[in-house]
Amino acid sequence: MTTPEFDFKAMIQKDRDDRVKRVFESTFLEYLQLVKSNPEVAVLAHQRLYDLIVAKGMEVVRTDENPRLRRIYGNDIIKKYAFFEEDFFGIDKTIMKIVRYFHSAAMAGEESRQVLYLVGPVGAGKSSLMEALKKSLEVAAPVYALKGCPMREEPLHLVPKHLRKEFEETLGVKIEGDLCPVCRYRLKNEYAGEYERFPVESVGFSIRSRKGIGVVPPVDPNNQDSSILTGSVDISKIDLYPEDDPRVLSLNGAFNAGNRGIVEFIEVFKNETEYLHTMITATQEKSIPSPGKGAMIYFDGVIVAHSNEAEWNKFKSDHTNEAILDRIVRIEVPYCLELNEEIKIYEKMLSKSKFRAHIAPHTIEIASMFAILTRLSPSNKVDPMTKLKIYNGEEILEKGMTRKIDIFELREEAPREGMTGISTRFIMKALDTALSESENDCINPIAVMESLIKSVKELGIGDDEKERYLRLIYDTVKKEYNKILEKEVTKAFIHGYREQAESLFNNYLDHAEAFVNKTKIKDKNTGEELEPDEKFMRSIEEQIGISDTAVKGFRSDVTAYMFFVMRNGGSLDYTSYEPLKDAIEKKLTTSVRDLSRIITQAKVRDKEQTQKYNTMVEEMKKNGYCDHCCNVILKYAANNLWKD
């Protein structure tokens, strides 16, 4: 079978033609007509980036319609921006703060004259957020600039100061800024001051070509040179032109390159303080020093800096840095603390890799659990795994009580949570190791736990911290996985698991409702009116530790919640109320525990046992297991779940 030919030439030509259509090259006079018809072409840098972010759409999440999100965020308004949704997970509030900064700056608020500073632990996503902003400029519509200008500056700078008010009223835009020295020289000497003849062209943004995007890496303190920021004097031209002639200037610094776009400072506080003073004028005065003895040059750009918290604390502690600190909008970028969102991070990263091995159910979940547990602070109110579930929006009751554990109280206990712990990079390396060492093109939770243990032992951290991480794997993650696995085996073992769970749920709901309303239940077969079955209800409630004194409150909570769901048009099933779901699943697990233990552990099975075992295997394969991982998982279950 031959592969059909694809017309690559046509594809290339179409792209070339499309680019030609977007090219604009004319005089300033024609540009003025363009601005008159569409004032948006003359927006400043902060406005441009804000427009790019919101252009992809924004969704306001109503937490009152989503019980899980309400448990996480309370009554807070959560905005999700499509611009970030494919690459960033579990940091919605951080993203909202970033967008709020751009919105305020776009409105010419104080933030338009301040540095956006992202601080957080390694691997939390600071650099990725920066890359997203820079790449959005690369695919954005071109801007209009004075042709040949090293600063790619706004053409409206040509309008003389005494005419600006009249031009602003006519065009409907605010004209800010002044010509750079190079364009001022050209206007006078090449166009005899006739600014309407000055050529204007459309120019795009490029990270690689340093067009509208400047990057400042950490510089050796012994070799810091301001030319990296603001350009230099071209020594080769000193013999040709006077020292104050703009033609000797080489405006190729990061601020020159980032004009109209972004200037990024990587690990910003690794630089000497004096080196950062250019930021003060670039933000507050919107101007940067000219190389040599020239006048200040107007700068319109977004300055974004980032570093880790240790460097921030060191810089902040020096009172002589107050001038810079006063010009910084600081936004924390913590690690994700929400299990469901952490899982999405690794799924995204694995989808971009070339690994194509089978990944058994709960494998990524187990790795994500460990990552989040290392980031959570210990609490006297709950154990680590319970805290993880609460932060994931699961409904957790205090043991033997009907009172729900308050997520906001837990957060108040540990306001720095998410700023320390294991990074996503560490987890990805452990997953990569497990995938690389897999001999059957399949990885499972057991292999990943082994990989995590090995990776932790090789970590260059203190012994106490290393011991804590290992305990989390052995004592917390492994125990939780055993519970998950027992539930998986139970589901596979019980034919029609969901139907049985729904039956228990409906029966419990009927009896609890009758108990709360002090009514009787009508037997569906005999029509006889019966008292609510106390023994049946307690057999379920005891599974999650509801005490005798708390049953009344629990039953009232269950029925009230179910009525709330129905009133709001929701559908009811056994998973609707998290504590009851947990109780029902534990009840079903208990009911078949002995039988599943015997079948799984048996070295030699009779015909009936073999049939049940094979049925269980087939059911597990339907739920995402392959032959290899199913075999490994069931052997693990036999050896670890049902010890006498």
Higher pLDDT, 424 or 273: 424
| 619/9: higher pLDDT | 619
Strands 25-27 and 249-250: unpaired
**pLDDT at position 445 over 70:** yes
Residue 411 confidence (pLDDT) above 60: yes
Residue 19 has pLDDT above 70, yes or no: no
For 234-253, what is each residue's pLDDT tens digit?
888 888 888 788 888 889 99
In the predicted structure, residue 128 carries a pLDDT above the cut 90: yes
What's the pLDDT score for residue 575? 86
Give the pLDDT score at 206.
93
E strand or H helix at 580, and its extent? helix 578-601
Higher pLDDT, 440 or 201: 201
Closest to 482 in 3D by CA, of 599, 369, 595: 369
Residue 18's pLDDT band, with cuts at 50, 70 and 90, is low
Query: What percent of the chain lies above the pLDDT cut of 90?
Result: 54
**pLDDT for position 626:** 92
The mean per-residue pLDDT over the stretch 458-472 comes to: 93
Residue 338 has pLDDT above 70, yes or no: yes
Q: What are 71-102's pLDDT values in tens digits?
A: 888 888 899 999 999 999 999 999 999 999 99
Set out the domains of the chain in order of their start, with CATH numbers: 23-40+110-332 (3.40.50.300), 339-460 (no CATH), 486-641 (no CATH)
**What are the pLDDT digits (tens) for 382-402?**
999 999 999 999 888 777 767
CA atoms of 599 and 346, how far apart (whole Å): 35
Residue 237 φ/ψ, nearest 5 degrees: -105, 0
Lowest mean pLDDT among 16-20, 168-172, 517-521, 567-571: 16-20
**pLDDT averaged over the chain?**
89
- pTM surpassing 0.85? yes
Burial 500-520 (b: 16+ CB within 10 A, else e): bbbebbeebbebbbbbbeeee
* Comparison of pLDDT for 7 and 342, the residue scoring more: 342
- The arithmetic mean of pLDDT across residues 427-437, rounded, is 92
Q: How far apart are the first and last CA of the chain?
A: 61
CA distance 206 to 467: 47
Q: Are 181 and 295 in contact (CB under 8 A)?
A: yes
Could you give the angle at the alpha carbon of 223 between the alpha carbons of 218 and 227, nearest 5°?
Answer: 80
